[in-house]
Chains A and B, each alone.
Chain A
Amino acid sequence: MEPASRLDHNYELTIKDFPYIIRWRDDRCKRCGRCTAVCPMLSIEPAVVVQRAVRSEGLTPEPKVVRKTVSVVRQTSDIGRYCTGCGTCTLVCPNDAIEPEYNPQHKFIFHKNRGGHPYRRGGRRNDPQPGTLDRLKFTRISMLTDPALDAGRHEFRIRTYLGRILPPDELPLKVVNGRLDVDKTLTDFIPPVREIYPVMIGSMSIGALSPTMWEGLAMGITYLNEVEGMPVVMCSGEGGMPARLLKSRFMKYFILQIASGYFGWDEIVRAIPHMVEDPCAIEIKYGQGAKPGDGGLLMAHKVLKLISEIRGVPMGVDLPSPPTHQTKYSIEESVAKMIQSMSMAWGFRVPVYPKISGSRTARAVLNNLVRNPFASALSIDGEDGGTGAAYNVSMDKMGHPIASNLRECYLDLVKQGKQNELPLIASGGVGKKGNLAANSAALFMLGASAVSIGKYIMQAAAGCLGDEYNRCNVCNIGKCPRGITTQDPKLYRRLDPDNVAERVVEVFKSLDVELKKIFAPMGRSTELPIGMSDGISADDPAVAERLEISYAC
């Protein structure tokens, strides 16, 4: 009898178990080898097989069996090298001979924990269903008594404020000869406020992003500010910024992020005396929507020379940020002290605000901030946000959708009469289905003062391949086939920063037009429709009830 060990194939996987199956066409393939060379996961490999063929060469049929050795492209069934469906092979194939196909019957998640290591990845939540934001429509359209504004002709001012806003009865004003003057005798603290474009690029670090991607984004927003007159800002993410940039006049377009790892902050602190411009704001990261309650991680293979210099760490080591600011006792203490010290570092001239994950505890944080006069805003990142590296279980199953989380926070502020004092910044799945303007406008109407985007801009400006079917999503291993989230020069040279910058500008200019097309028929032009909740309806009564908006079917 055969030994059991040779009969037992139960620990091997078939290609059908994988989320993507490579469709390779023998007849079209010219064996150039480009697909196998470019595959970031090494999921396909050249192989040699012996094929049996029946042939007849004479005048009369005389079938003969021949065996010949041929080279093929084979998909591996090694789960460590699974096909992510990125489709880079298709991109490089000269003859359309290869493409990955999604396999809805896959059993990948049952097996991707070999060695006791849970499945880790980057990217987005694996949920192809439309989020709540895509279930909202703008239903209050001006018609007869109230004609719509003209998006093309009327003047629009799509701007928002970042920073703590003093309530009107606390303004340092006095009436002198029928005119309001600022009362200079008062020495009360006046918080700094910035006027910015209401859609900002969220925190993605130099390190998580490739140098070309980050440079492209930075150039894009600079162009938007200086040429197009659109004050779009972006957040640095954790890990600091190049010293030259810190000391440049461009600093005002950036929000510096400090997270629990404090990476890059030695360099930043050293640069403060040499800064010619204050940063737009400081964001203190406490959580991230894609993996709430989890820390950050920049893996060793991404920590190359440039990154190690910016972050002030050795090359080639893992850089984990803990899930909490370890030097502080509690979130309340941490928030208060961090905000205070960051404000002080820039002479109280820069807005400082925390970023938290969408969570049922968000209101507790919010109320804590409401009582802190130095807190400038609250950024809430919902569960549909993306990340460079996380455990799959965290990404798929942890977190709170942004729509209801933001709404309850806003209504909480309304109850206290503080709705204009502490701006709420919302993010997490904005533009998940491509509807960036509609999703952003819906969030404004639910109460957001500004919106942060990450995945959308990567997808739109650099052609990120990832999706909610676990396509690609290998931002964590430094093998990004587009060159967006990698530090490998061979990969990031695929991305031209000028093209990224151009796309960033295109995205924001078209977003601006689309926002006008939404705001104009609703009669809003001078200010953002923040909290204009009568403007939207949900197609689900339960959603409508939860968000305290109307239901339309």
Chain B
Amino acid sequence: MCRLSAITSSEYISPMENILALETMKEGHDGSGMGLLLKNLGGEFEELKDYPILSGICSKDGLHALDSYMDNLGFQLKYTWTPKIKPVKGVERRDYYFARAYEYPDAFREKGIEEREALLMSTRIALRKMGEGDESIIVFSFYPDIIALKEVGDPLQLGEFFGLDTSTLKAKIILAQGRQNTNYAINLYACHPFFIQGYGSMTNGENTAFIPIREFLTSRGFPGYMGYNSDSEVFTHILHYTCRRLGYPLTYYKDIITPLKTSEIETRPDSEATEFLKISLRPLCIDGPNCVIGFTPDGTCFMVQDSKKLRPGVVGGVKGKFALMSEECGLDRAIPDRERSNDIFPMKYDMVVVSPGAEEVKVWNQLQGWTTTMS
């Protein structure tokens, strides 16, 4: 079972904090990979918030192809970040790891956000397809203020490999996953966290309902719902579908993936609407075992459990810094000086929501509504 570590902070933090937290939960991952997703970037990227950042891995040939493709589209390279690779035994080095900020093509500079987002997504998909056959181009994200970094190996070793301890790469929201491979083949694309148009998530568990969910999403006619090297990628896409495509508030994500019984729905003030969701979005119901941690474009972070609460998960911290972890030991490592009695262990009806800027923590309960806050 994978281990997850997400930290949201009002100050910029280093991804090493997440990696060290993952290290305390080491028995839970097999070192088959680590993924990092950074949002609200600091350091050199702090000045580049409006520019989309392409993050991924290339071979030498792939880099030429990528440059030529981006040039043709009219993207102008503004800034490139590459990790200072420190060879580590057990981690096979690839040619080129990058996070590159681009200026939009001229034709898009005056366009609205939706058109820009569509362009970024179609570019990312095209690049992914270009390099899919020979792994010459692997792209994880292409969006403003977001960087994704993934590689096969043990999280701590990878932190060293990427030189993250000395790097200037910092962010206010960082998601990290240490993998326990449940997808048969070790595939970089299968590594969490996943990202699409401002929404990111990672999952602790295995999605038994993967096939019907994948079929439902891919048949929505939205080009971004593709890939699925991991059964967990659908959680990010369900989140995007719920909040972005359907325009529902975040709490309904919980109602969609873990619908209530009819008798329970009847107790809710929005019972009529919730019953509609349960029926119309039936294929998106998960049965777990899953704990999902993610964020939305405004910087809200959340943790949500499957309807049986089959996976561990804990949220805690202090105002200005909260961590959402698989296990308490990870939380102890990330935020040791918190009030432990305020830690929240979300149960089957709960969704823990940390507001943007790590201001406060609320718990949304499917039956009781907003019941607990920590600020």
A531 near B282: Cβ-Cβ < 8 Å:
no
- Interface residue SS majority, chain A: loop
Residue B307, interface by CB 8 Å: yes
B252 near A180: Cβ-Cβ < 8 Å:
yes
A523 near B277: Cβ-Cβ < 8 Å:
no
Binary A-proximity of B268-293 (CB < 8 A = 1, otherwise 0): 01101110110111110111110000
B182 near A146: Cβ-Cβ < 8 Å:
yes
B276 near A181: Cβ-Cβ < 8 Å:
no
A525 near B276: Cβ-Cβ < 8 Å:
no
Question: Which residues of the other chain, B, contact A172 by a CB distance below 8 angstroms?
Answer: 276
Across the two chains, which residue of chain A brings its CB closest to B212?
Answer: A531
Q: Known: A168-B246, A180-B270. Contact between A420 and B282, CB under 8 A? A: yes
Question: Which residues of the other chain, B, contact A168 by a CB distance below 8 angstroms?
Answer: 246, 277, 280-281
Residue B180, interface by CB 8 Å: yes
Across the two chains, which residue of chain B brings its CB closest to A193?
Answer: B279
Q: Known: A145-B180, A523-B287, A527-B285. Contact between A180 and B277, CB under 8 A? A: yes
Binary B-proximity of A499-524 (CB < 8 A = 1, otherwise 0): 00000000000000000000000111
* Interface 9-residue window, one of A159-167, A256-264, A302-310, A345-353: A159-167
Contact among B283, B307, B310 for A531, CB-based, below 8 A: B283
A146 near B208: Cβ-Cβ < 8 Å:
yes
B283 near A530: Cβ-Cβ < 8 Å:
yes
B282 near A524: Cβ-Cβ < 8 Å:
no
Question: Which residues of the other chain, B, contact A248 by a CB distance below 8 angstroms?
Answer: none
Q: Known: A180-B248, A420-B216. Contact between A145 and B182, CB under 8 A? A: yes
* Interface 9-residue window, one of B50-58, B257-265, B326-334: B257-265
Contact among A175, A178, A182 for B276, CB-based, below 8 A: A182
Among residues 134 to 176 in chain A, which have CB atoms less than 8 Å away from a CB atom of chain B? Answer: 142, 145-147, 149, 154, 157, 161, 165-169, 171-173, 175
B282 near A161: Cβ-Cβ < 8 Å:
yes
Question: Which residues of the other chain, A, contact B272 by a CB distance below 8 angstroms?
Answer: 181-182
Instruction: Report Cα–Cα, A180/B271, bound state, in Å.
Output: 9
B206 near A178: Cβ-Cβ < 8 Å:
no
Question: Which residues of the other chain, A, contact B261 by a CB distance below 8 angstroms?
Answer: 157
Residue B1, interface by CB 8 Å: yes
CB B21 to nearest CB in A, in angstroms, measures 21
Question: Which residues of the other chain, B, contact A157 by a CB distance below 8 angstroms?
Answer: 261
Among residues 4 to 18 in chain A, which have CB atoms less than 8 Å away from a CB atom of chain B? Answer: none
A526 near B285: Cβ-Cβ < 8 Å:
yes
Instruction: Report Cα–Cα, A169/B281, bound state, in Å.
Output: 10
Q: Known: A142-B208, A420-B283, A531-B283. Contact between A169 and B245, CB under 8 A? A: yes
Instruction: Report Cα–Cα, A49/B248, bound state, in Å.
Output: 88
- Choose among B219, B221, B251 the residue with the greatest number of A CB atoms under 10 Å from its CB: B219
Residue A387, interface by CB 8 Å: no
Binary A-proximity of B174-191 (CB < 8 A = 1, otherwise 0): 000000101000000000
Contact among A145, A165, A193, A414 for B215, CB-based, below 8 A: A414
Residue B126, interface by CB 8 Å: no
CB A511 to nearest CB in B, in angstroms, measures 20
Residue B205, interface by CB 8 Å: yes
Question: Which residues of the other chain, A, contact B216 by a CB distance below 8 angstroms?
Answer: 417, 419-420
Instruction: Report Cα–Cα, A61/B287, bound state, in Å.
Output: 87
Question: Which residues of the other chain, B, contact A529 by a CB distance below 8 angstroms?
Answer: 209, 212
A534 near B211: Cβ-Cβ < 8 Å:
yes
Total interface residues on B, CB under 8 Å, equals 46
Contact among A154, A167, A169, A182 for B273, CB-based, below 8 A: A182
CB B132 to nearest CB in A, in angstroms, measures 22
Residue B308, interface by CB 8 Å: yes
Binary A-proximity of B135-150 (CB < 8 A = 1, otherwise 0): 0000000000000000
Residue B112, interface by CB 8 Å: no
Instruction: Report Cα–Cα, A178/B286, bound state, in Å.
Output: 24
Residue A415, interface by CB 8 Å: yes
Binary B-proximity of A165-207 (CB < 8 A = 1, otherwise 0): 1111101110100111110000000000101000000000000
Binary B-proximity of A274-296 (CB < 8 A = 1, otherwise 0): 00000000000000000000000
A175 near B249: Cβ-Cβ < 8 Å:
yes
Q: Known: A142-B208, A146-B289. Contact between A173 and B308, CB under 8 A? A: no
Question: Which residues of the other chain, B, contact A522 by a CB distance below 8 angstroms?
Answer: 208
Contact among B182, B247, B273, B288 for A181, CB-based, below 8 A: B273
Contact among B270, B276, B280 for A420, CB-based, below 8 A: B280
Instruction: Report Cα–Cα, A420/B208, bound state, in Å.
Output: 18
Binary B-proximity of A411-438 (CB < 8 A = 1, otherwise 0): 0001111111000000000000000000
Residue B89, interface by CB 8 Å: no
Residue A532, interface by CB 8 Å: yes
Contact among B212, B269, B276, B289 for A171, CB-based, below 8 A: B276
Residue A533, interface by CB 8 Å: yes
Instruction: Report Cα–Cα, A171/B272, bound state, in Å.
Output: 11
Contact among B206, B221, B258 for A145, CB-based, below 8 A: B206
A532 near B212: Cβ-Cβ < 8 Å:
yes
Question: Which residues of the other chain, B, contact A195 by a CB distance below 8 angstroms?
Answer: 262
Instruction: Report Cα–Cα, A147/B274, bound state, in Å.
Output: 29
A146 near B277: Cβ-Cβ < 8 Å:
no
Among residues 8 to 29 in chain B, which have CB atoms less than 8 Å away from a CB atom of chain A? Answer: none
Question: Which residues of the other chain, A, contact B307 by a CB distance below 8 angstroms?
Answer: 525-526
Instruction: Report Cα–Cα, A167/B279, bound state, in Å.
Output: 9
Residue B111, interface by CB 8 Å: no
- Choose among B211, B247, B248, B287 the residue with the greatest number of A CB atoms under 10 Å from its CB: B287
Instruction: Report Cα–Cα, A457/B282, bound state, in Å.
Output: 29
Among residues 160 to 199 in chain B, which have CB atoms less than 8 Å away from a CB atom of chain A? Answer: 180, 182
Contact among A175, A182, A414, A523 for B219, CB-based, below 8 A: A414
Instruction: Report Cα–Cα, A418/B216, bound state, in Å.
Output: 9
A147 near B280: Cβ-Cβ < 8 Å:
no
Question: Which residues of the other chain, B, contact A167 by a CB distance below 8 angstroms?
Answer: 280
B220 near A533: Cβ-Cβ < 8 Å:
no
A526 near B258: Cβ-Cβ < 8 Å:
yes
Residue B322, interface by CB 8 Å: no
CB B177 to nearest CB in A, in angstroms, measures 14
A166 near B247: Cβ-Cβ < 8 Å:
no
Question: Which residues of the other chain, A, contact B279 by a CB distance below 8 angstroms?
Answer: 161, 165, 193
Question: Which residues of the other chain, B, contact A523 by a CB distance below 8 angstroms?
Answer: 206, 208-209, 287-289
Across the two chains, which residue of chain B brings its CB closest to A415?
Answer: B219
Question: Which residues of the other chain, B, contact A416 by a CB distance below 8 angstroms?
Answer: 219
Across the two chains, which residue of chain B brings its CB closest to A533?
Answer: B211
B219 near A524: Cβ-Cβ < 8 Å:
no
Instruction: Report Cα–Cα, A397/B289, bound state, in Å.
Output: 47
- Choose among A415, A530, A532 the residue with the greatest number of B CB atoms under 10 Å from its CB: A532
Instruction: Report Cα–Cα, A525/B1, bound state, in Å.
Output: 21
CB A183 to nearest CB in B, in angstroms, measures 9
Question: Which residues of the other chain, A, contact B270 by a CB distance below 8 angstroms?
Answer: 179-181
Residue B253, interface by CB 8 Å: no
- Choose among A173, A531, A532 the residue with the greatest number of B CB atoms under 10 Å from its CB: A173
Question: Which residues of the other chain, B, contact A525 by a CB distance below 8 angstroms?
Answer: 287, 307-308
- Choose among A166, A168, A175, A182 the residue with the greatest number of B CB atoms under 10 Å from its CB: A168
Residue B210, interface by CB 8 Å: yes
Question: Which residues of the other chain, B, contact A181 by a CB distance below 8 angstroms?
Answer: 270, 272-273
Instruction: Report Cα–Cα, A169/B220, bound state, in Å.
Output: 10
Question: Which residues of the other chain, A, contact B274 by a CB distance below 8 angstroms?
Answer: 180
Known: A182-B272, A417-B219. 16 other contacts (CB 8 A): A145-B205, A145-B206, A149-B308, A175-B247, A175-B248, A175-B249, A178-B249, A179-B249, A193-B279, A195-B262, A417-B221, A419-B219, A525-B308, A526-B307, A529-B209, A531-B211
Q: Nearest 8 pairs between A and B by C-beta?
A: A523-B208, A417-B219, A146-B206, A180-B273, A531-B212, A527-B285, A145-B182, A168-B280
A–B pairs, 21, beta carbons within 8 Å? A145-B182, A146-B205, A165-B280, A167-B280, A168-B281, A169-B245, A171-B277, A171-B280, A172-B276, A173-B276, A178-B249, A417-B216, A419-B212, A419-B216, A420-B282, A523-B206, A523-B287, A529-B212, A530-B212, A530-B283, A531-B212
Q: Which residues of A contact B (CB under 8 A)?
A: 142, 145-147, 149, 154, 157, 161, 165-169, 171-173, 175, 178-182, 193, 195, 414-420, 522-527, 529-534
